[in-house]
Amino acid sequence: MINCTKCQSPLSNQAINAHSLVACPQCRAVLRADVYPALYRPSPGNPPGETIHMGKEAGCFYHPRKKATVPCSACGRFLCALCSIALDGQHLCPQCLEIGKTKRKIENLENRRTCYDTIALLLATVPILIYWVTIVTAPVTIYLTLRYWKFPSSIIPRTKVRFVFAFIIAGLQTVGWILIFSSLLPLTIS
Amino acid sequence: MFLKDAPQNREYRKLPGTRKGFMVGKFTLWQGRDHLLHIYSRFGVEDYKRFYLSDIQAIVARRTKVGSVQNLILGFFLCLFALAAISVDRSWILFHGIIAAAMLVLLVINLLRGPTCETKLMTAVQTEKLHSLHRLKNASRVMDRLRPIIEQVQGTLKPTDLNKAPFRRIDDETPHHRNPATTHKKARTR
C-alpha cells in the first residue's frame, strides 16, 4: 500500500492499479497510481558469503576465508557472494567496477557527460546576436569540432550533424572576418 | 559517412514528454533495454539517472493546478491587452494587438497540452520526481506503455496481494538524488 503524494494519507486498494485517474479518499486529489510487485518484494540484504569448510574449496580473492562463488567477468578473480557485483548480466569485482567507472568503460555507470557537439553548435550560433564576438568564438568552435570529433557525445546515440553545422557556421564566420580584415588592410596602408 | 554513426538498433527510445527548465535545461525520459534513463541536459552537459525496470515499485501521477493557473494568467493578460487594443489610443493598437495575439496563441497551446501533473517514481531506496512527465496526457501514455514492460520483468500483481504488503510512504525526493537544477541553485546561493 502507498500514500497519496499530496495529503500523505494511505490510498485504498481500489485507487491502486485502477489504470485511470481516481480521487484520493481524503483530499480528493486526482491521481493514478501504478504499483508493481517490487513493492512487495522483501529486501534481499547483503549476502554474507559462505565460509570455507573444506580445504580444497576455492576462496575469494579479497576474502580468502570466504567461499568463491563466481569469477569476475573482467579480471577473472574468484569472488565470494559479498564481493560479486552484478551489472548488465556480468559479475564484477569492486576493483574492476571502480576502473570501469573512472575510465568510462561501463556506460551504465556514467551519470554525466559533456556533449562537445552541442557546445560547439551553441558557440557557433548564439554569438551571432552580438556579431563582433564571433571573431573569438569562431576559431574556438573550429578547434572544439576538430579536437572532440571522436569524443563520445550524448549517451543517446546521435549523428555528428551538430559538429558539421557548427564547423560550417564557424568557417563562414572566419571567412567573413578574413574578408573584412583584407578589405581594411589596403585602406590602412594607403 | 559521419552522419550514419548513429546505430540502427537503437538502445534508447524516447518516451513522450519533455520539460524545459526556466531559461536553461531540458528534462527527457528514455526507455532502455532494462532501465529508464532520465536526462537533464543544459549547455551541452547531460546528467543521467537510471531506474531499472526490476526495481521500480510504483509510479504515481497526480493532477496539479499549475496548468489552470497558467491559463488564468494568460487569459487575464489576453483580456487586458485585447481591451487596451480596442479602447486605448489608436497609435498603440498594433502593439497591444500583437501582445494579445501572442497571449491567445500561448493560451491555446497550453489548453491543447492538457492539465499538468506531478509524476513520482518509487524504488526501494528513492522517490524521484519525473520532471519530463508534467502533463497528465503524457504521464498516462508513458504509464500505459511501461506497465506491460515492467510486468514482463517483475510479473503481474494480483489484487489480493495488495493487502499483504506493509504501508510504504512516498516521501519527497531523496536528498542524494535531487533535481540537479535545484542542487545547482542551492550551491550558488551558498
Q: Judging by DSSP bridges, how do beta strands A22-23 and B58-63 pair with one another?
A: unpaired
Asked whether the beta carbons of residue B60 and residue A5 sit closer than 8 angstroms, the reply is yes
Looking from the CA of B114 toward its CB, the CA atoms found within 13 Å total 12
DSSP H/E element including B132: none
State the smallest CA–CA distance between residue A65 and chain B in angstroms: 31
Q: Which of A34, A38, A39 sits opposite B54 (nearest CB)?
A: A38
pLDDT digits (tens, 9 = 90+) for B60-82: 999 999 999 999 999 999 999 88
Gap between the Cα atoms of B44 and A189, Å rounded:
44
Asked whether the beta carbons of residue B167 and residue A119 sit closer than 8 angstroms, the reply is no
Mean pLDDT (chain B) is 82
pLDDT digits (tens, 9 = 90+) for B175-185: 444 444 444 44
Residue B72 burial (CB count, 10 A)? 12
Q: Which residue numbers in chain A have pLDDT < 70?
A: 43-55, 190
Gap between the Cα atoms of A90 and B168, Å rounded:
31
CB B51 within 8 A of CB B15: no
The Cα-based distances of A82 to A46, A50, A101, B111, B166 in angstroms read: 7, 9, 20, 54, 28
Among A24-38, B3-17, B35-49, B93-107, the range scoring the smallest mean pLDDT is: B3-17
Q: Which of A10, A30, A156 sits opposite B63 (nearest CB)?
A: A30
pLDDT at A90: 81
**Which residues of A are less than 8 Å from B148 in CB distance?**
none
pLDDT at B4: 46
Does residue B171 sit at the A interface (CB-CB below 8 Å)? no
- Assembly ipTM: 0.76
Q: Which of B12, B122, B170 sits opposite A156 (nearest CB)?
A: B12
State the smallest CA–CA distance between residue A181 and chain B in angstroms: 32
Give A130-179 as a 3 state SS string. Answer: HHHHHHHHHHHHHHHHHHCCCCCCCCCCCCCHHHHHHHHHHHHHHHHHHH
pLDDT at A101: 77
pTM: 0.78
